[in-house]
Amino acid sequence: MFIRALYKVVKIACWSLVAWLFVRAFLFQACRIPSESMCNTLQEGNYIVINKLAYGARIPITPLSISLGNKTWSLDFAELPYFRLPGYSSVQRNDIVVFNFPQEENLPIDQRKKQIKRCIALPGDTLRIQDGKTSVNGNALPDDEQILYRYSFSSFSDTVLIKKFPAASIAADKLEFYISKYISDSLEKQKEPGPFQKQGFATDFYRPDFFPHNPLIKWNPDHFGPLLIPKKGSSIVLNDAAFALYARLIEKNEEVQITQLNHLYYINGKEAKNYTFQMDYYFVMGDNRYNSIDSRFWGLLPESHIIGKYSFVLFE
């Protein structure tokens, strides 16, 4: 009797584990928000549900791996190529997308840290940011109430604003806050402490940590582009600017060696004048615009890194 009861318990436990692994791999998965980059929409520390059915489940790249908390153990020899099952929709502009962080290049794709951002531009789009205003294909994106920008005001005479919003920084002559344009306009109408001034980066401001990390193209989070987002099957003419923008992307995600010598370009050792992309890419940003490390810093998001679509907050 004891052996039979133990067998039933073990059988139920095994089938429960198989069912849980199936749901986690192909249907839904819980995830913790790792940073403040989506603040005002999703808070750091929230647990959310990722819908993997929407874009199609990505077949596990390291199927023989075990994750416990922040620790993962995997067998590298069992690494599979990227493949995605069909989904019932494609990534759309304004979707909140969960993905593996592309910069952790020393790890298999599905073992990299999870990040969550808003999709701003799709494959084939042309994106541009001017004075902090984002446009896609020449059409300006509206200032959503959830998008946080950096504002400052130069008066300490009233603590109303300090009580309402935590200060991002405090200097000798001003306070800086991450608030939406909607809230800024509302406070101005109410004649709250001011004057308000939106903070940003100058046109010529440049640091090497901004994409594409090349002094030939000096962009920053407020002055960025125009940038063509690569689409699978689309081609680009190879020149110095294209090489600066896309060479690393191509080498790391499409397993192609691209080199430059005396303004000539070589694909896998053969001279080439054009390159055709094998994968779709996306441009993503956090809603907390000035407190988000996103595509403006590390570049474009390859489709192979996408885990799924944000569905809902499980618990806070």
DSSP for the chain? Answer: -HHHHHHHHHHHHHHHHHHHHHHHHHTEEEEE--SSTTTTTS-TT-EEEEESTTT-PBPPSS-SEEEETTEEEE-GGGPPPP-B---SS---TT-EEEEE-TT-TTS-GGGSPEEEEEEEE-TT-EEEEETTEEEETTEEPP--TT-BEEEEE---S--HHHHHS--SEE-SS-EEEEE-HHHHHHHHHTT-S--EEE----TT---TTSTT-BTTB--BTTEEEEEEPP-TT-EEE-SHHHHHHHHHHHHHHS---EEEETTEEEETTEEESEEE-SS-EEEEE-SBGGG--SHHHH-PEEGGGEEEEEEEEEE-
Nearest to 118 by CA among 291, 253, 229, 282: 282
* Mean pLDDT, 10 residues at a time, the chain of 316 residues: 72 71 70 84 87 91 67 66 91 95 90 94 96 91 71 56 54 61 58 59 83 91 92 96 94 93 92 95 90 92 95 82
Same domain for 2 and 107: yes
Q: Would residue 65 count as lying in a domain? A: yes
Is 157 part of any domain? Answer: yes
- Domain limits for position 163: 149-198
The closest of 99, 94, 95 to 136, measured between CA atoms, is 94
- pLDDT of res. 163: 55
DSSP state string for 268-310: TTEEESEEE-SS-EEEEE-SBGGG--SHHHH-PEEGGGEEEEE
Q: Is residue 236 part of a domain?
A: no
Domain termination residue (choose one: 163, 179, 198): 198
Q: What is the pTM of this model?
A: 0.85
- Give the bridge partners for 73, in sequence order: 66
| 216 domain residue, yes or no | no
Note the pLDDT of residue 164.
Answer: 57
Q: Count structural domains, the chain.
A: 2
* Residue 28 located in a structural domain: yes
Q: Kindly report the CATH number assigned to the domain that includes residue 74.
A: 2.10.109.10
Is 115 in the same domain as 177? no
Note the pLDDT of residue 268: 94
Q: Same domain, yes or no, for 51 and 114?
A: yes
Domain boundary among 198, 215, 234: 198
Same domain, 110 and 33: yes
pLDDT reported for residue 157: 47
In a domain, 187, yes or no: yes
d(CA 295, CA 301): 7
Non-local CB neighbours of 15 within 8 Å, separated by 6+ positions = none
